[in-house]
A and B are shown apart, each in its own frame.
Chain A
Amino acid sequence: MRKIWDIPGGIHPPENKTQSLGQGIATLPLPDILILPLGQHAGAPAKPLVAVGDRVLKGQLLAEPGGFISAALHAPTSGTVSAIEDRAIPHPSGMSARCIVLLPDGNDEWCPHHGVADYRAASPVALLGLIRDAGIAGLGGAGFPSAVKLGPKQPIDTLIINGTECEPYITADDILMRERAADIVEGVAILAHILGNPATLLIGVEDNKPQAFEALEAAARGTAIEVVEFPTKYPSGGEKQLIQILTGKEVPSGKLPADLGIVCQNVGTTYAVQRAIVHGEPLISRVTTVTGRACGRNGNYEVPIGTPIRHLLAHNAFDAARCARLIMGGPMMGFALPDIDVPVVKTTNCILAGSHDEFPPAPPAQACIRCGLCAEACPASLLPQQLYWYAQSHNLERLEAHNLFDCIECGACAYVCPSNIPLVQYYRAAKGEIRQQDAEKKKADHARQRFEFHKARLERAEAEKAAKREARRLAAEEAQAKVAGDAIPASGPGSADDLIQAAMARAAARQSSPEQQQAKLERGLEAARNRLQVAEAKLAEGEGEGLDTEPLDRLRARVEEARVKLAEAERKLAEFTPATSPAPSATAARVVDKLQGAPRDQLERSITTLRERIATTEAKIAEASDETIAAALRNGLDKQRAKLRDAERQLADLGPADASPEQPAADAPTLDAAAQAIARAQAKAEAMAAMNPLEKLDAALEGLDQRIAKARDKVAAAEAEQSEHLDTLRAALDKLEAKRADTARQRAELAGQGAH
């Protein structure tokens, strides 16, 4: 005798099995229509291989597996494919899904098929392939593709055949075991061969099926198969529970029986495997119990898959008026069907048409008094009352800590609950909530990762730019230092030339050609315009759709940003245009000039350039139609003016040159002001050269007087304006006065000499 373990919890609901055991496995006339859902199994739906209008033979492949975890679908009888369309399928949600609709021709004509002569000679892989081709999926209820379950990576030492059938009312497995025990035993032997002959082969049967047990015992005599009987208790037939009863082992949470070296198969599946291997018949029919007091006759039928339930009920004196609930499966875990136009599928072990006195409407739920009856009934040793408490408050963390996902939804807790709380429903909802939350978290994590990568990319680009800027700045400083070094005779004679060469090369490299540069700027401008258009279009669209304020604000911000970028691009192009006029060589020459020129010359030159730029910018402002652009231009203008003031101040700091030109009135946009000043200075110098010393000094004095007068005016003006250049101007005036005093002294000396 094999040791039997007990499972915690469990209940003993009324069995209600005898009423459907009055007859053996019967058959019914073929229905007029067969509806074959493509997804009758766990996993991906099958892919249809037939077209509407095709004539098919019994056993012909209609749809191939749609993935690794999927199952094929075959024609249960010969006939014509009349449609491939969405139809109501047996599902708790009452949803529709794609089905192949077959109109039987009544001939029940088989396609050619043949079994394996000696499965022991066949390789397990080949047999697994046949099982897969036969479209076999767990007939016990879960519908998991059998070929996948029978091909575990782990070594298997125990094969358990589940003949428990612990749900009340259902007798499909019971009758199958009674009538076809030999076939089942052969099926077990095939499965054992496929799994590499596990040491232990068990068939587990509850002790409320003594006839089935005896039939199996007799059939298994002389084989390695052990038929084990154990006390009836719901839910002993759960895979995990049966494993515990027969082996004392628990399947670790989140793992599979195969991790313990155990494979579990339902007796119906085992029988289907035997049909497929020995007879070459795919899974096209199954034994289904039709029971419940709303049916005048109860019994078990071998029905083609796809038979409408309406057909089954019609042959069992179904009285719709008496029917309170139409359940597919048993009363504990089955689901209610909304109507009778759904088909029998591979997992349909029972159609229970319960009358009103069998299934009275559930009384309203009362408050949970935490009586703990649910915890006593739970086969997974959970605390259903706590799970209910936390499910109500959506405390998902607590739910997981209380092992919600080890709940097998057997319904024992809800069955015993004295407050009639639909506990299982709460757990299903909570599980859904947690799954959804996990999915959202995964999505959010992905998005965050992407954002972080994006940010990192931007930062890297920015860092590269900054590094380039820094390198340029260092190079410029170096160059200036060398120029300064040149002025002092410390630096070598060749260094200035080298520097110039380098600067020229850099300038050439930076602006490959002005045309290219301009083209680039124009492209930038075009792109900026496009971006603005796109952003404006999106904003308009968003406003049209009546989006929330937040996304609209974002769109508006984007438009504004695009406008600013466009203005910037336009400004850049605008600034670029005058600078491009000189040829590349001219640019180089300017650099040479810049580097070679004395500070005063440089300043004067830059002042001139700045004035030119200011004039251009002012013209542009006048032309600018767009306020934003004008604002940007004004901004640029302010900067240019500031630069100009700076340059002028520096020039003033340098002090008046011997032939220093008068400072022209500020902001006078004279293109050749500097040239005129130079010309004036030159003319003055020539005139002076022609004079005698005394006259020269007189002229100088006169010039100085004029300059002093002007300088005084400027100081006065600066004082009035509170100008920041006041000190500089005063210093200049002092210098001029000192010079005048000096010149006057020279003249007096000269005049004194002349008088002698």
Chain B
Amino acid sequence: MVFARSSSPHGHAPLDTGAVMRCVLLATLPGLVALTWNFGWGSLINVVLASLVALGLEAAIVAARGRPVLFYLRDYSALVTAVLLGLALPPLAPWWLVVIATLFAIAIAKHLYGGLGYNPFNPAMVGYVVVLISFPVQMTTWITPRDLLAEGVSLPGLWQSLQIVFPVLGTPELSDGFTGATPLDAFKQYSGLLVEQIYQREPLFNQAEIASYGWEWVNLGFLAGGVWLLYKRIFTWHAPLAMLAALTLMAALFHDGGSSTSGGSPLLHLFSGATMLGAFFIVTDPVTSAASTTGRLIYGAGVGILVYCIRVWGNYPDAVAFAVLLMNFAAPLIDNYSLPRSYGHSRRRKATEKKP
């Protein structure tokens, strides 16, 4: 009679990587709904298209690497990357933009580095930055929120949206003028005016409840999803909270009483652009962030500070992708100096410490 030999522990908690990823996917839903409500079908098309491309690529590359395809697809990581990328890309972006971004995310940023767990850079953000730098026109064309459209102008319907994304389906019959600037873009364009004046002129701001019309709901959606993930203990609060706190602090410091050199209010920064998507879905990517809780605090704060700097003093209206990639670079360094104090030790050690 011989029984299985195995090393302890013999039991296992029910959670697995696939379940973690499924939770993340589920948590993006409120944000996706808010995006679709405000900006039409574009984001949904982005997400579906990116997902299909990502799954296909993942399967092809895993097969090419000689590994079991289904086993790897079941970790849902490619799907998470694709969904986050689809959410980040501008709605109604041409199909090839989505495909290129996904290709770079999955093939270059993820699998060329060894696949899940080995990629030093957030794949979705790599894909995003590649198309942002390469195709600035398409990447800065956003939609005006549904309720701010001029009289007689409406958002494209599903079929029209598909025709915009895939020109091969025919030329859509469209009313003009449904595209517009994002709040951060608008704020930047009005530079030189007092914050109050900007808010008076720009309906994105003066129609808003807390920060910027439409966008605040998108950000609240992602915040809701993030809070649910926190509750589910999928990740810890350290990185997102540090990022939001650092961003708020920077905005408060440089608000300058709403003068013409003001960088905008903390609320504007918190609830515009990709802030909440970044805080709860990008910064929390464990693979590319720091390992310890202290490290994640530093990492998140770094992202928050960089986001503000690039938004206010840089060339790009939004900056989550750049900030995240820059902090990805810094993560291994942070890891070296942010070890927790272990039981029985009087101080933290450095990862680079040599034996005495």
Contacts and interface: CB of A to CB of B under 8 A. Distances in A.
Contacts of B9: 331-333, 411-412, 414-415, 424
Contacts of B289: 370
Interface residues of B, number: 52
Contacts of B351: 386, 398, 401-402
Given A240-B344, A406-B342, A337 B3 contact: yes
A425 interface: yes
Interface stretch (B111-119, B140-148, B155-163, B265-273): B111-119
Contact of A419 (B17, B234, B335, B339): B17
A324 interface: yes
B117 A364 contact: no
A314 to B, nearest CB: 12
Given A354-B10, A380-B342, A419 B3 contact: no
B5 A338 contact: yes
A362 B2 contact: no
Nearest to A11: B13
B37 interface: no
Contact of B342 (A253, A359, A361): A253
Interface in B339-356: 339-346, 349-355
A406 B343 contact: yes
Contacts of A422: 7
Interface string A309-333: 0000000000010011111010111
B236 A372 contact: yes
A602 interface: no
Contact of B10 (A254, A359, A420): A359
B110 to A, nearest CB: 11
Contacts of A11: 13
Interface in A555-589: none
B151 interface: no
A376 interface: yes
B235 interface: yes
B75 interface: yes
Nearest to B74: A366
Contacts of B4: 324-325, 336, 361
A325 B6 contact: yes
A361 B349 CA distance: 37
A418 B19 contact: yes
B175 interface: no
Overall SS of chain A's interface? loop
B20 interface: yes
Interface in B293-318: 293, 296
Contacts of A323: 3
| Of B6, B11, B355, most A-chain CB atoms within 10 Å | B11
A253 B345 contact: yes
A332 B8 contact: yes
A382 B351 CA distance: 12
B314 to A, nearest CB: 29
Given A336-B10, A424-B7, A366 B344 contact: no
B138 interface: no
B203 interface: no
Nearest to B331: A370
Contact of B11 (A366, A397, A406, A415): A415
B344 to A, nearest CB: 4
B20 A418 contact: yes
Contacts of A329: 8
A444 to B, nearest CB: 15
A448 B181 CA distance: 74
Contact of A320 (B1, B8, B117): B1
Q: Lowest 3 CB-CB distances: which A-B pairs, in order?
A: A411-B9, A367-B117, A253-B344
Interface of B: 1-13, 15-17, 19-20, 71, 75, 77, 115-118, 233-236, 286-287, 289, 291-293, 296, 335, 339-346, 349-355
21 contacts: A11-B13, A250-B343, A253-B343, A325-B4, A325-B10, A331-B10, A333-B8, A336-B10, A338-B3, A359-B11, A362-B6, A366-B75, A369-B116, A371-B17, A383-B292, A401-B353, A406-B343, A412-B9, A416-B13, A418-B15, A424-B8
Given A372-B293, A403-B345, 4 more contacts: A367-B115, A369-B17, A401-B339, A425-B7
